[in-house]
Chains A and B, each alone.
Chain A
Amino acid sequence: AQSVTQLDSHVSVSEGTPVLLRCNYSSSYSPSLFWYVQHPNKGLQLLLKYTSAATLVKGINGFEAEFKKSETSFHLTKPSAHMSDAAEYFCVVSPISGGYNKLIFGAGTRLAVHP
């Protein structure tokens, strides 16, 4: 069975310092992986996605993620946090399946950014 584990429920950083949000996945086959961001009282927005091309994926707002098959990880990073990055982040796996696009969500990581 496919699953996603976000290793930290809360992460707190200072503005201008690096961000690391950790995600491990479990999948029988090479999945597609996504990171979504949800700002307070908003819908979900796609940050980036991995679909078996380059293992280092660049997304919007300076975020990037690296797919590591040997570690079954897809951690999200950003070199320098901004106050506007404060939000909840979801790691999502889309396993190979027939007929429809099934997304399996992690529990989420809430990122706080302090001045």
Chain B
Amino acid sequence: NAGVTQTPKFQVLKTGQSMTLQCAQDMNHNSMYWYRQDPGMGLRLIYYSASEGTTDKGEVPNGYNVSRLNKREFSLRLESAAPSQTSVYFCASSGRQGSGTEAFFGQGTRLTVV
């Protein structure tokens, strides 16, 4: 059972380059999320998609865009990478909306922008 799969696992970009982080889940979940993890700050929500066809900004959306391609896939795009976007990125999904629903996380993408 794959759960949430992210690609790539590691990436190094030069400032100004663009890239797309891919995420897919096989649990038939409605909601999907992108978080970034920085030392001492926990995880912060970048964007989320409550259901197929909808996306909304989270806490730190600047410099990112997302696409909910279908129910399974939710991608995160950096149009012009900056060193401040060096971080570990996690995709997550949850099965229903509302308080009390846990999220399932991918293994993360470690991104370095030089």
Contact = CB atoms under 8 A, between A and B. Distances in A.
Interface stretch (B14-22, B61-69, B103-111): B103-111
A80 to B, nearest CB: 26
A43 B107 contact: yes
B90 A43 contact: yes
A17 B103 CA distance: 31
Interface in B70-114: 90, 92, 94, 96-108
A42 B107 contact: yes
Interface residues of B, number: 29
Interface string A23-64: 000000001101010000111111001011000000000000
Q: Interface majority SS on A: helix, strand, loop or mixed?
A: loop
B4 to A, nearest CB: 8
A100 B31 contact: yes
A49 B102 contact: yes
Given A43-B90, A43-B105, A101-B94, A51 B100 contact: yes
21 contacts: A31-B99, A32-B101, A34-B102, A36-B105, A41-B108, A42-B107, A43-B90, A43-B105, A43-B106, A44-B90, A44-B92, A44-B105, A49-B100, A94-B100, A96-B99, A100-B97, A101-B101, A103-B33, A103-B103, A106-B42, A108-B42
Interface of A: 4, 9, 31-32, 34, 36, 41-46, 49, 51-52, 90, 94-97, 99-103, 105-108
Interface of B: 4, 31, 33, 35, 40-45, 48, 50, 56, 90, 92, 94, 96-108
